[in-house]
Copies of this chain bind each other. A is one copy, B any other.
């Protein structure tokens, strides 16, 4: 496998293989599989789960990793192309990425959306530019529009819980949040549920409709897998018979990058906090999913988050098993 950037770049058998490999490694440890192998982890945005699950994943396979982040005592990094570097930043990403890649067998990169241009972010231009600088396979640890490691973990979580694929009902619901968050998780989650062949509803206020490029790709994937995609702003109708409510906040694409307008459009939306009453009409054992970190009392009530429906800790744990499968595929092949 040459890197890991987008679940939809894999054929269905490719995803199936990763899920089975993740399960195998969970059940049968291989603590020497990646002996002497090194994973570089470059974080241009904050992380808790991602950095720790990747570190643990490499350790459990007998390899190791190192982390570079703005918090790790490095010279400031310049990202803009073509700039005369007479300011604060001491090093350009055009050296930093190839150098880090040169010390490693694979390179993970996290770079959130800059939210300057919706088109650039949907095309994932910044991440692609960085990935092209690497001489070793690149793993997307969340870019402007993708979070494939999260999606793989979420898929595995639904397998673990035996949630139905074809015929299963998946609700991706917008939720309130004090910040204007990126589109990476909703876009990846939508695509993942579509690839899994589920009947997916995107439940969101009108101003939060996802960009048409993203919706169109999801419809195409759903159609190939035997599922469906629809949108709604009516919660009661949306959650009917749902097997999963997956909550996530995201920016209004209509006001992308405009923080004042984002606050304005959310003014009347504090009710978009998932509570037990949201599950009226859903399947009896409907699950609550979220990628974490989550704002209690804003995105979801404490009782739902800590209740029996919630599988958020399992989702987080599956980050590790899923990434172990990805690393195994990339690095075993290379040895």
Which A residues lie at the B interface, using CB under 8 A? 29, 31-32, 35-36, 38, 40, 43, 46-49, 51-53, 55-56, 59-64, 66, 68-75, 78, 82-87, 90-92, 94-96, 98-100, 102-104, 178, 292-298, 302, 306, 312-313, 316-317, 320
Shortest CB-to-CB span from A335 to chain B, Å, is: 9
With A38-B60, A82-B302, A317-B102 as known contacts, state yes or no: A293 contacts B52, CB within 8 Å. no
A-B contacts, 12 of them at CB < 8 A, read: A36-B60, A38-B56, A43-B73, A56-B104, A70-B73, A71-B72, A75-B293, A86-B298, A95-B292, A95-B312, A96-B293, A99-B317
Shortest CB-to-CB span from A243 to chain B, Å, is: 23
A46 touches B74 (CB 8 A): yes
A85 touches B296 (CB 8 A): yes
A59 touches B84 (CB 8 A): no
B73 touches A178 (CB 8 A): no
- Known contacts A43-B73, A48-B100, A82-B302; 16 additional CB pairs below 8 A are A31-B35, A31-B36, A35-B62, A36-B61, A38-B59, A51-B74, A52-B66, A56-B104, A59-B64, A72-B73, A78-B296, A85-B295, A85-B298, A92-B293, A94-B306, A95-B313
B297 touches A83 (CB 8 A): yes
Residues of chain B within 8 A of A298, CB atoms compared: 84-86
Shortest CB-to-CB span from A46 to chain B, Å, is: 5
A73 touches B99 (CB 8 A): no
Please measure, in the bound complex, the distance between the C-alpha atom of A68 and the C-alpha atom of B56, giving whole angstroms: 12
Please measure, in the bound complex, the distance between the C-alpha atom of A90 and the C-alpha atom of B52, giving whole angstroms: 17
Shortest CB-to-CB span from A308 to chain B, Å, is: 15
Residues of chain B within 8 A of A29, CB atoms compared: 36
